[in-house]
Structure 1
């Protein structure tokens, strides 16, 4: 089982490495509610000490499906397909997805996906409390003078 590696950390950040997209299939975890092993999935909230999002990376084998539908009570999810293709279903709507597809699902949306391609599907899922983003991009921040250490 592959482990998340800590790269660096101080009070203002935590940097980790989950490996390349091909390495995601080597991760596994024990599902918190079911107590069963899930292969090809890694969560990074705890390793990065995140307080506002949960981010996971998942590898789905060729010609397979997630195997369950689910909802959330408070959190919306955004799925970013990095590799592979297939279908995503929310409630009664089913639509094609491929590398580059981005899908946001409200908490109450009943959701799942499948990989119909001959290659593994790799995707990122970002989970955050619905309507919690108050400011974003250039509105939440300002430029500050700083000297880069990489020069």
Structure 2
């Protein structure tokens, strides 16, 4: 659905990530182009149990926020490894050399990329309350 001030898509159940071939293959869905993002990139991800990202990578400009939504595994940053699980939030600077491995269960996570140091104001300073009411108000 696309309207004047929003776009909405339904990718389906997270558990189906490994079955569907989105825009870069099974297990990873970059949503930015499909939903019209202009200030960040977001990917919805699933690493199968005991599998890993097959490379260590860094970025030129973008920091990343990883949000683990289900499962557990091991995160690697700059030579250090530490456990992650549902509820873990990990911010990695552009230069941080990173990789991720799933544990005994499939590891589901959301990754948000945005240019480092580009945020000019956070929600509490940017948001404004308007007079419009939703049907439940």
TM bucket (normalised to shorter chain) is over 0.9
Find 2:110's aligned residue among 124, 130, 146. 124
In the other structure, the counterpart of 2:33 is: 46
Structure 1 stretches of at least 4 aligned residues deviating more than 6 Å after TM superposition: none
Distance (whole Å) between structure 1 residues aligned to residue 22 and residue 3 of structure 2: 26
In the other structure, the counterpart of 1:22 is: 15
What TM-score do the two structures reach when normalised by structure 2?
0.93
Distance 1:49 1:30, change over 3 A: closer
In the other structure, the counterpart of 2:4 is: 11
Shift of 1:29: 4.4
Shift of 1:27: 2.9
In the other structure, the counterpart of 2:76 is: 89
In the other structure, the counterpart of 2:55 is: 68
Larger relative contact order (CA 8 Å, sep ≥ 6): 2
Shift of 1:147: 2.2
Gaps of 5+ in 1: 1-7, 32-37
How many pairs align?
137
* Structure with greater proportional strand content: 1
Gaps of 5+ in 2: none
Contact preservation (8 Å) 1:59, 1:121:
yes
In the other structure, the counterpart of 2:123 is: 137
